[in-house]
Amino acid sequence: DTEVTQTPKHLVMGMTNKKSLKCEQHMGHRAMYWYKQKAKKPPELMFVYSYEKLSINESVPSRFSPECPNSSLLNLHLHALQPEDSALYLCASSQILAGIQETQYFGPGTRLLVL
Amino acid sequence: RKEVEQDPGPFNVPEGATVAFNCTYSNSASQSFFWYRQDCRKEPKLLMSVYSSGNEDGRFTAQLNRASQYISLLIRDSKLSDSATYLCVVNGGGQNFVFGPGTRLSVLP
């Protein structure tokens, strides 16, 4: 099973709203990622969690706040977003095993529209 | 120079054609390599990992040239359903996955 799930599938929010995106995997992967993808562009890395600790933050504005409550779950809390934050938000996971090639698996994404 | 480069295309090919994509990378310490396909408004899906000896999966063949720092993807007997964006992904170690800009393929009837 190589499934990563994300909720919600679609989200429309105003610039003063607070919302959260959720991601879940049960593959035993210990690295989890948030990406942002705009139309006709490749995914752009936002955050990486390794063993539930934030290991990479690609200078993302503080209106995006990640959280990793346990090894299966990853959240992205959104507050005071701007219209230019509208995009597809992708979650991914990969295993961390010495000597084993890591492969990323992506969830279906949350399509976010900020009005 | 960008870390991972691809010709953005689009490549417009007739059904049944053979098409090849290349991808170059700048980090000589890169450890693993992948091709993903992404359909419009969907997530990237792993197509193939790319191994040093080259590997084949049905109509798809991937090759790695470490000396020249490029990987390639060959699609034989193209189908309409192969129309998608093909993303080259290079892992520089650990959780450091770098995406190329993607190559758009349209297979025409």
Q: For A49-96, what is each residue's pLDDT tens digit?
A: 999 999 988 889 999 999 999 999 999 999 999 999 999 999 999 988
Q: Is A108 left (phi over 0), alpha (psi -120 to 50) or beta?
A: alpha
**A:28-47 residues touching chain B, CB 8 A cutoff:** 31, 33, 41-43, 45
**The pLDDT of residue A73:** 98
**What does the block give as tokens for B53?**
């000896």
**The pLDDT of residue B96:** 87
Using alpha carbons, list the distances in angstroms from residue A32 to A13, A19, B32: 25, 20, 18
- Which residue ranges in chain B fall short of pLDDT 70? 1
| Whether the predicted pLDDT of A1 surpasses 80 | no
Taking an 8 Å cut-off on Cβ atoms, the answer to whether A102 and B45 are in contact is no
What radius of gyration, in Å, describes the C-alpha atoms of chain B? 13
Cα(A101)–Cα(A29) distance, integer angstroms: 13
Q: Is A56 left (phi over 0), alpha (psi -120 to 50) or beta?
A: beta
